[in-house]
Amino acid sequence: MRVAVLLLLTAGCAPEAPQTIPTGPQTGGGTPGGTPGGSATGSGTPGATTTGSGTTSVPFTWDCTTPLPAAPVPFTNQTGYSEAEDFDFHPDGWAGLVYQTNLVGKDRYGGTTVISPDVSSNAASTRVLSTGDWVISDVSGGRVIRVDHVTGAKETLLGGLSWPNGIEVGSNDDLYMTDFSTGRVFTFNAWNPDPVTQIDIGQPQANGIALSPDEQTLYVVLSWTAAVIAYDRQPGGGWSAARVVLLIPGADFQGLVSDYCGNLYVTDAYPGQHSYIIRIRADETNDGIIATLPSGYVPNAHFGHDIGGWNRFMLYASDREQGRLFELDVGVPGKQHPALP
């Protein structure tokens, strides 16, 4: 039955799916559901939903006046993913991540495919472009690479980086990035990388990065400073100086993601202990901890996209300690996925 489900999902995917593993077991281990931490129902009513085939019949809307669920939010976990630093959801239904130097896709039911081999021996951000191709921060090579999602071929987009780290994909595949070592915050286009525009430099341990839904504000996490800073797009072009949105001394912030309404979710790391998901409301007020996860290292989180069982209303957070994926019912959908209409 499981194989039939896997085949059915594959049949419904976009044409020219990545090369699949032809023999051997298809499972990466683990079963859906895992250990429930509570109910998995959302609040409010979506205006429209995307279908399982990835096509949207009507534009998706969400009423952002819908009250946010109170903390703590319920979550479940699914085993058998990986200790990758980052991941993203692809229109083909895979969660793509770099594992043992290879870009692999893992589906909701334990299936694994190799999208592209030997992409990086130390990868940070792994994101999907509007075309379905991938961009990856290759820390070991000091570069950003783009991977063709059909052929698996990879090429260097931008080299000469010290510690390429967080990537946010904006409209027109404009990329917004952080460099952990130099503290650079910069932007360039994934298809025309010149010019590279520097937004800031010297921000210590610049890590996760996220755009507001209207792309007028850029948020960046500073790991050891445990701060979230913001840059505002200027009417005449360029960006403002950084301003502090959140500061929690002693924390170790990692990843950052925005939902449909502009609320931000910050992940952090507490080695050997629990990690937290902190929510910052769209008006930039601190909502505090909304979930305490049984992992000492949660580097990133992303919203699902309603394809392949990845629910748009769920925030999925990666567990580097045990290779799990936490599914948090945060009650708000994510921003529109770059690769979906």
Partner 1 sequence: MPRIALILAVFLASCGKDDPATGDSTPTGLTTGSTSGGTTPTPCNITEVPPVVGDPLTVDLAGECPLSNRWGDFAVSVYDIYSIVAGDVANGVVPITVLEEVGRDGTCVLLRRNNPFCDPPCASDQTCDFDGTCVPYPENQDLGTVTIGGLEADVIMQPIQPGNNYFNTQMPHPAFTPGSLIELTTGCGVYDQVVLHGVGVEPVTLTSPDWVVRDGEDLPISWNAPTVPINPGQHVQVRLNIDQHGNTPVQMFCSFPDTGTASLPASLVDQLMAFGVTGFPNATLTRRTVDSATLSSGGCIDFSITSPVDPNVLVDGFIPCIPGGNTCPTGMTCDPYIGLCE
Contact between 148 and partner 1 (CB under 8 A)?
yes
Number of residues located near partner 1, criterion CB under 8 A: 63
Contact between 172 and partner 1 (CB under 8 A)?
no
Among 92, 168, 173, 252, which residue interacts with partner 1 (rule: CB under 8 A)?
252
Other CB atoms within 10 A of residue 309 CB = 15
Contact call for residues 209 and 167 (beta carbons, < 8 A): yes
Among 7, 16, 25, 36, which residue interacts with partner 1 (rule: CB under 8 A)?
25
Which range in 1-9, 113-121, 211-219, 281-289 contacts partner 1 by CB under 8 A? 113-121
Nearest in space to 309 (alpha carbons), one of 17, 16, 31, 1: 31
The least distance separating partner 1 from the CB of residue 244, rounded to whole angstroms, comes to 17
Contact between 97 and partner 1 (CB under 8 A)?
no
64 vs 114 by CB, closer to partner 1: 114
Contact call for residues 308 and 78 (beta carbons, < 8 A): no
Contact between 77 and partner 1 (CB under 8 A)?
no
Q: Which of residues 301-340 bind partner 1 (CB under 8 A)?
A: 320-321
Helices (H), ranges, 91-234: none
Among 31, 51, 273, 285, which residue interacts with partner 1 (rule: CB under 8 A)?
273
d(CA 50, CA 29): 28
Among 35, 51, 53, 100, which residue interacts with partner 1 (rule: CB under 8 A)?
100
| φ, ψ (nearest 5 deg) of residue 11 | -65, -30
Nearest in space to 311 (alpha carbons), one of 292, 299, 327: 327
Among 296, 308, 333, 334, which residue interacts with partner 1 (rule: CB under 8 A)?
296
Contact between 67 and partner 1 (CB under 8 A)?
no
148 vs 215 by CB, closer to partner 1: 148
The kind and range of the H/E element at 7 are helix 2-11
Torsion sign across C-alpha atoms 173, 125, 122, 137? positive
Nearest in space to 50 (alpha carbons), one of 199, 260, 236, 301: 260
Which range in 60-68, 293-301, 306-314, 330-338 contacts partner 1 by CB under 8 A? 293-301
The least distance separating partner 1 from the CB of residue 54, rounded to whole angstroms, comes to 23
Torsion sign across C-alpha atoms 60, 286, 165, 115? negative
Contact call for residues 83 and 123 (beta carbons, < 8 A): no
Contact between 299 and partner 1 (CB under 8 A)?
yes
Residue type, 72: P
Q: Which of residues 177-206 bind partner 1 (CB under 8 A)?
A: 180-182, 184, 186, 188, 193-194, 196, 198, 205
**27: which DSSP letter?**
B
The least distance separating partner 1 from the CB of residue 212, rounded to whole angstroms, comes to 25
Nearest in space to 185 (alpha carbons), one of 157, 171, 169, 165: 165
User: Binding residues for partner 1, per CB under 8 A?
Assistant: 19-25, 27-28, 83, 85, 100, 102, 112, 114, 116-118, 140-143, 148, 151-163, 180-182, 184, 186, 188, 193-194, 196, 198, 205, 223-224, 249-252, 269-273, 296-297, 299, 320-321
